[in-house]
């Protein structure tokens, strides 16, 4: 079991007002799954993803990651998990400005403290998303779709077990979005766990399992029958 949430509660306290964002989430995700978390805005799906991604700590409940209870992990230990066992892909790409594509992809490696050849790893990750030719471009010189592929390369570079993608196609046109989804599918096919947050059913249908959340509770958790799944073909972008 890669991820196991037991009765996760997250409250935000603002003065006297307590907002209950997650109201007892129980969720198990196996290694190799492709899970889409769906729900309307304000449902708590982003908070759930942040909690699973160790960007935020739950108010209560147990979170076992790869069999380990993470409740008492220090901030530095959590940083280490974020660094080399998790990869993030954000809706707004979040590349460092004024920095080359290659340097952007290398960034997690630099924080990892490993002694391996950063450049080779970063180049391989860029080749995996089809951007081996663009590594010397600055991050603002490439298209949105390419930016998101760079972000995926960056998420991949430390060889994590799981990739979190928060509305990865939200800021992309359909062509670029298809390319990004195609890459995520490939990564999943190679055995990597993908957790995708979206409100778009067409995007969610790429996954093999859809978890729907509303008002901080899971209201459905279904496997997608293979016949219903959407598969993006590799689209040649106009570059």
- Scanning 25-33, 35-43, 111-119, 191-199 for contacts with another protein by CB under 8 A, the matching segment is 111-119
| Burial of 230 from C-beta contacts in 10 A (0-12 / 13-18 / 19+) | middle
Closest CA to 211 of 232, 228, 190, 196: 196
Contact between 168 and another protein by CB under 8 A: the answer reads: no
Q: What is the 3-state secondary structure (H, E, C) of 92-139?
A: CCCCCCCCEHHHHHHHHHHHHCCCCCHHHHHHHHHHHCCCHHHCCCEC
First-to-last alpha carbon distance for the chain, in angstroms, is 41
Binding status of residue 129 toward another protein by CB under 8 A: no
**Total binding residues for another protein by CB under 8 A?**
29
Backbone angles phi, psi at 28, to 5 degrees: -125, 130
Confirm or reject binding of residue 13 to another protein (CB under 8 A).
no
Q: In this chain, which of 62, 110, 201, 219 binds another protein, going by CB under 8 A?
A: 110
The Cα–Cα gap between 70 and 79 comes to 12
Between 38 and 122, CB nearer to another protein: 122
Rounded-to-10 torsion of CA 163, 167, 171, 173 = 90
**Distances from the Cα of 63 to the Cαs of 67, 104, 159, in angstroms?**
9, 30, 22
Angle, helices 144-156 vs 118-128, to 10°: value is: 130
Q: With binding defined as CB under 8 A, does residue 80 bind another protein? A: yes
Cβ-in-10-Å burial (0-12, 13-18, 19+) of 176 comes to: buried
Q: Is 202 helix (H, G, I), strand (E, B) or coil?
A: helix
Q: Largest alpha-carbon pair distance within the chain?
A: 54
Q: Nearest distance from residue 118's CB to another protein, in Å?
A: 6
Which one of 29, 38, 106, 184 is in contact with another protein (CB under 8 A)? Answer: 106
Which of these segments, 20-28, 100-108, 128-136, 215-223, binds another protein (CB under 8 A)?
100-108
CB of 178 to another protein, least distance (A): 26
> Of these, 82, 121, 134, 149, which contacts another protein (CB under 8 A)?
82
Q: Which residue is associated with the tokens 């928060």?
A: 166
Question: Is 228 near another protein (CB under 8 A)?
Answer: no
Nearest CB to another protein, comparing residues 98 and 227: 98
Using rule CB under 8 A, residue 108 touches another protein: yes
Determine, following the binding rule CB under 8 A, whether residue 152 of this chain makes contact with another protein.
Answer: no
Of 22-30, 95-103, 167-175, 214-222, the segment contacting another protein by CB under 8 A is 95-103
114 binds another protein (CB under 8 A): no
Asked if residue 136 binds another protein (CB under 8 A), the reply is no
Contact residues: another protein, CB under 8 A: 50, 53, 55-56, 75-76, 79-80, 82-84, 88, 90, 92, 94, 96-99, 103, 106-108, 110-112, 118, 154, 158
């Amino acid at each position: 079991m890669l991820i196991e949430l037991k009765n996760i509660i997250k409250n935000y306290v603002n003065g006297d007002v307590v907002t209950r964002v997650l109201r007892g989430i129980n969720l198990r995700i196996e290694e190799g799954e492709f899970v889409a978390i769906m729900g309307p805005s304000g449902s708590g799906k982003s908070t759930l993803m942040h909690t699973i991604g160790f960007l935020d700590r739950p108010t209560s409940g147990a979170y076992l990651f790869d069999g380990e209870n993470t409740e008492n992990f220090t901030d530095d230990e959590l940083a280490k998990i974020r660094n080399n066992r998790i990869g993030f892909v954000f809706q707004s790409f979040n590349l460092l400005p004024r920095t080359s594509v290659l340097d952007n992809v290398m960034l997690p490696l630099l924080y990892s403290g490993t002694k391996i050849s950063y450049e080779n790893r970063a180049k391989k990750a860029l080749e995996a998303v089809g951007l081996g030719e663009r590594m010397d471009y600055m991050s603002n010189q490439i298209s949105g779709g390419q930016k998101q592929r760079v972000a995926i390369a960056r998420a991949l570079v430390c060889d994590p077990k799981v990739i979190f993608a928060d509305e990865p196609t939200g800021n992309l046109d359909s062509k670029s979005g298809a390319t990004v989804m195609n890459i995520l599918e490939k990564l999943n096919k190679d055995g990597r766990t993908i957790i995708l947050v979206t409100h778009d059913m067409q995007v969610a249908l790429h996954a093999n399992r859809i978890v729907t959340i509303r008002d901080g509770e899971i209201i459905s958790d279904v496997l997608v029958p293979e016949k219903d799944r959407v598969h993006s073909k590799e689209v040649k972008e106009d570059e």
